[in-house]
Chain A
Amino acid sequence: MLNVSSINAGYSGVPALTDVSLHINPGEIVTIVGSNGAGKSTIARTISGLVRITSGSITFNGERIDQLPPHHIVARGLVHVPEGRHVFSKLTVTENLKLGAYATTSEAEIAKRLEYVYELFPILKERARQQAGSLSGGQQQMLALGRGLMADPKLLILDEPSLGLMPKLVEEVFEAIRTISQTGVTILLIEQRVLEALELCNRGYVIQNGRIVTEGTGTELMDSEMVRKAYLGM
């Protein structure tokens, strides 16, 4: 479904990714784990078109997307929920959600998706008319996820959805991801909570200093000496 092949990318000439390759099959949950500054978010940004690759290629359903602007990539069903939530703080919850469906013109379709998101996250319905900035961190994360779902994604990239959340909320978010996956949405999950992510995923990649250092199924990675030492503290 998604094929990232030997990409290099960086910020104003400083390389952040070196020769990164990965692929995602339809229906999978794939995770990328790694420590601070390893380049996880940069991978997400290159896929969604926010950061340009300097070499290599990215294809989505067989089509090259690495030169497309972000709004064209979203239109193809590849949706990126960025790290740090980035909700529109001065807008209401409903307005945030509607912006998620910006590419859709059908009011009926938008209403349907809104209903679905409210069902998944009832708290958003309760807070529908409140400013997004007034929500708690956990609620904002639900909103960011819900806003991503409003675009009717085929592939959803989630960048550290559990960042800064209390353990109970983390569980809730992971539960929501499982539910979303069961509806047929393919998921690329970027996480620093390595154990939880590896338990949830089908396959995973480990990134260090901008390079993929190892990959495998969730269980393989959990059993790997390197992962246990570096990320699970065992």
Chain B
Amino acid sequence: MYLQLTVGGLLLGCIYGLVAMGLSLIYGVMGIVNFAHGAFVMVAMYASFWLNRFLGLDPVLSSPLVALLMFGFGVIVYHAIIGKILEGPFLARLLVTFGLSIFLINCAQFLWSPDYRMVENPIFRGIIMLGPVFVEVPKLMASIGSLIVAGLIYWFVRKTKTGLAIQAISLDRMAASLMGIDIERLNGYAFGLGCACAGAAGGFLAEFYYIFPDVGTMFGLVALVAVALGGFGSTEGALIGAILIGIIETVGGFMIGSEFKYALVFLAYLVIVIVRPRGLLGWGAD
């Protein structure tokens, strides 16, 4: 039974991990806590939903496309809003993504109504036996997909020239600009990449999850906790933190009742923040 639960938590954690990785990347590079990250997941889920409804694309298969769209969306949001307040007062930097989140959620309510929706004919469904455990196929696909995307982003940031420049900005912005790095452009890319993480995750989730305007809020919060657990600015840490949360949520939820599962998650968060304020693997941008 516990093996069953742990596997379930692990799968969930991988999806959380992808969302959290994007959040961590954005924070690491520009010092912004993106409170709109959950809303980005929601936007991506609707994008998958409509792609499915009108073009008949399956959400898992269309998730690269959704990730790409969200990358573009992120770059635009960066240049239209975020970049303008990066040098601004602390409170503005803190609140701008809050505002954006509320705006996006309300837009979704206005455009698509608060109804719960679900993709009607997902190609991945049902349950398979993996050794001694039952696994829901769409969840399995979603977590494998999340790991692949997370791996790609990791590779991009570590191994490409643009990725190196993004790392340089997060380590020392002043020195990075003296290297000839166009900080504004690269910040835009990094924000876009962060959104693409939320986008891919949203695409995978759309395969089996209800879609409604507030659906992202919990994902955003959990990602925030995962990032704090793993240490702000550490993408690997965020992934590990997220997997931990997935497991705490599923196993703990079973033991003390699923209505308390998020209480457990936040309790774990409080403990870590008190015991190890820099997170498990943390180093900050500030």
- Which A residues fall within an 8 A CB radius of B? 48-50, 69-71, 74-75, 79-82, 86-91, 95, 98-100, 102-103, 147, 151
Contacts and interface: CB of A to CB of B under 8 A. Distances in A.
Contacts of B283: 90
A50 B164 contact: no
Contact of B180 (A86, A87, A89, A103): A103
Nearest to A147: B179
B180 A102 contact: yes
A200 B120 CA distance: 77
12 contacts: A50-B174, A69-B177, A71-B181, A71-B182, A74-B180, A75-B180, A82-B178, A88-B168, A90-B283, A91-B167, A100-B179, A147-B179
B123 interface: no
B235 to A, nearest CB: 12
B286 interface: no
Contacts of A95: 164
Contacts of A49: 177
Interface of B: 161, 164-165, 167-168, 171-172, 174-183, 283
Nearest to B183: A71
A98 B164 contact: yes
A179 to B, nearest CB: 22
A36 B283 CA distance: 31
A147 B176 CA distance: 11
A143 to B, nearest CB: 11
A74 B164 CA distance: 18
Given A95-B164, A98-B164, A99-B165, A70 B178 contact: yes
Identify the interface centre among A49, A88, A95, A98: most chain B CB within 10 Å of its CB: A88
A82 B175 contact: yes
Contacts of B179: 74, 99-100, 102, 147, 151
A71 B177 contact: yes
Nearest to B177: A70
A75 B271 CA distance: 49
A93 B206 CA distance: 44
A18 to B, nearest CB: 24
A86 B172 contact: yes
A49 B176 CA distance: 13
B167 A90 contact: yes
Given A91-B164, A91-B167, A99-B164, A151 B180 contact: yes
Contacts of A74: 178-180
A70 B182 CA distance: 8
A151 B176 CA distance: 13
Q: Please provide the 3 A-B residue pairs with the shortest distance between their CB atoms, ordered closest to farther.
A: A74-B180, A86-B175, A103-B180
A70 B186 CA distance: 14
A151 to B, nearest CB: 6
Contacts of B183: 71
Nearest to A76: B180
B158 to A, nearest CB: 10
A102 B165 contact: yes
Given A90-B171, A98-B164, 14 more contacts: A50-B174, A70-B180, A74-B178, A82-B175, A86-B178, A87-B175, A88-B175, A89-B171, A90-B167, A91-B164, A98-B161, A99-B165, A99-B179, A102-B181
B90 to A, nearest CB: 15
